[in-house]
Amino acid sequence: MKEQQVTEERKDKKGVLYIGIDLGTSRTSIAASNGVRECVWSYVGYPKDVVSRKLLKKDKLFGKEAVEKRLSLDLYRPFQSGAIKYTTAEEAGIGKEDLDKHLQAAKDLVKHALTLAKPRKDELIFGVIGAPARASLQNKQALMDACKGCLDSVMVCSEPFAVAYGLDLLDDTLVVDIGAGTVDLCRMHGTMPSADDQITLTTAGDWLDQQLYALLKKKIPDADFTIHYVKEIKEKYAFVGDATDPVLVEFLVSGKPTMFDITNEVRDGCRMIIPPIVTAIHKLISSFDPDFQERLRNNVLLGGGGSQIIGLGRVLEETMVKMLGSGHVTHVDEPSFAGCNGALKMAHDMPEEYWKRISAATTAA
């Protein structure tokens, strides 16, 4: 876990609002000790020119509203490229200027999420934020920078660890959190997970959208559609087992809405997400203490938005039985909030002196 005190002085504040934030590539979720739980799509838009500013009457738009008004906006998805969360700017292929814009958008998004948590003016805000399992120190620092000026004290923890912590599954569990930017795996064995206990894959929801887009373009080359539309289709119809009903969807062909049966494309595309996950599960189990491997095998926990692909748990189980002899997979109850709920629980469980100590240490530094 990495920690930092945000420098802003707030001496007049008395109470503490604890918060857990999941700064997701696709959704930012926040849970607070005052009972608020909110979720916003991780999009930030800034009006493109004076006309759009006049039309929209705002300087910044967030979430679904930003996507809907995207033609008038410079639209950012601050965590999409991965540079902030799990790789370097060079690896993600974005320049310094672009990275700064993403960081600014991330800051604005955090600020917006915090307003949704409705802190009182006299409260200090102590927060735990989730980061991908294998995020580097540099990435964690970037996430904390995004919270600078908004939170009084911040800690960063691994996303799948937060999921497990929130559900009190601290041992004998293999968490698989299928997000938009990353699939994060973490084996829990009663202590803080180390780097060897965790794997981050980039074959997650966004990647799946691209695979589906390519399959659909191949099937209907004359149709006009965007990646946003493909994501919508996926979230409505994604499945990996045997089809029960055909997937019939309208596409625009030369401006004319036309219905297509895309059952096979949806299934074949969604199945692409499975092999890397099974390989990673296999790696984490087979490299574990042999006396405990069976327990892990029989306790795989799926979370994250991507875990809602229909039939995924059963197909993963079948594949594990073939590869590893057995496998039992369950789902978290609330895929969108499991991460921030766990982060909030961690924030609560950390003694107040601990938060203050971080604060004192950093102020002195």
Task: Indicate which of Mg ion, ligand ATP, none lies near residue 3 (CB less than 5 to 8 Å, by partner kind).
Answer: none
What stretch of H or E contains 178? Answer: strand 171-178
Tokens of 303: 């979370």
User: 281: closest CA among 232, 230, 317?
Assistant: 317
Task: Indicate which of Mg ion, ligand ATP, none lies near residue 306 (CB less than 5 to 8 Å, by partner kind).
Answer: ligand ATP
Site size for Mg ion, by CB under 5 A? 2
Looking at the Cβ atoms of 24 and 63, the one nearer to Mg ion is 24
Looking at the Cβ atoms of 42 and 72, the one nearer to ligand ATP is 42
Task: Indicate which of ligand ATP, Mg ion, none lies near residue 305 (CB less than 5 to 8 Å, by partner kind).
Answer: ligand ATP
Q: What sign has the CA pseudo-torsion 62, 67, 68, 73?
A: positive
Question: Locate tokens 């982060």: which residue?
Answer: 343
- Distance CA(200)–CA(176), nearest Å, equals 10
Q: Which residues bind ligand ATP (CB under 6 A)?
A: 22, 24-27, 79, 159, 179-182, 204-206, 231, 234-235, 238, 304-306, 308-309, 336
Contact status, residue 350 vs residue 157, Cβ threshold 8 Å: no
Looking at the Cβ atoms of 26 and 158, the one nearer to ligand ATP is 26
> Which residues in 22-51 contact Mg ion (CB under 5 A)?
24
Residue 179 binds to Mg ion (criterion: CB under 5 A): yes
Supply the minimum distance, in Å, between the C-beta of residue 338 and Mg ion.
Answer: 9
Q: Which residue is nearest to ligand ATP (CB)?
A: 205
User: 162: closest CA among 132, 135, 126?
Assistant: 132
Looking at the Cβ atoms of 65 and 172, the one nearer to ligand ATP is 65
User: 224: closest CA among 250, 206, 205?
Assistant: 250
Interface stretch with Mg ion, choices 16-24, 78-86, 185-193, 276-284 (CB under 5 A): 16-24
DSSP per-residue letters across 269-334: HHHTTHHHHHHHHHHHHHTS-GGGHHHHHT-EEEESGGGGSBTHHHHHHHHHHHHHS---EEE-S-
Supply the minimum distance, in Å, between the C-beta of residue 174 and ligand ATP.
Answer: 17
3-state secondary structure of 168: coil
Looking at the Cβ atoms of 5 and 158, the one nearer to Mg ion is 158
Looking at the Cβ atoms of 52 and 308, the one nearer to ligand ATP is 308
Task: Indicate which of Mg ion, ligand ATP, none lies near residue 72 (CB less than 5 to 8 Å, by partner kind).
Answer: none
CA angle 53, 56, 61 (to 5 degrees): 95
Looking at the Cβ atoms of 62 and 79, the one nearer to ligand ATP is 79
Supply the minimum distance, in Å, between the C-beta of residue 107 and ligand ATP.
Answer: 17
Supply the minimum distance, in Å, between the C-beta of residue 331 and ligand ATP.
Answer: 12
Task: Indicate which of ligand ATP, Mg ion, none lies near residue 193 (CB less than 5 to 8 Å, by partner kind).
Answer: none
Supply the minimum distance, in Å, between the C-beta of residue 234 and ligand ATP.
Answer: 5
Question: Locate tokens 């991330």: which residue?
Answer: 106
Would you give the DSSP letter of residue 239? B
Looking at the Cβ atoms of 193 and 304, the one nearer to ligand ATP is 304
- Compute the 3-state secondary structure of the chain and give helix, strand, coil in percent, each to the nearest 5: 45, 25, 30
Q: Site residues (CB under 5 A) for Mg ion?
A: 24, 179
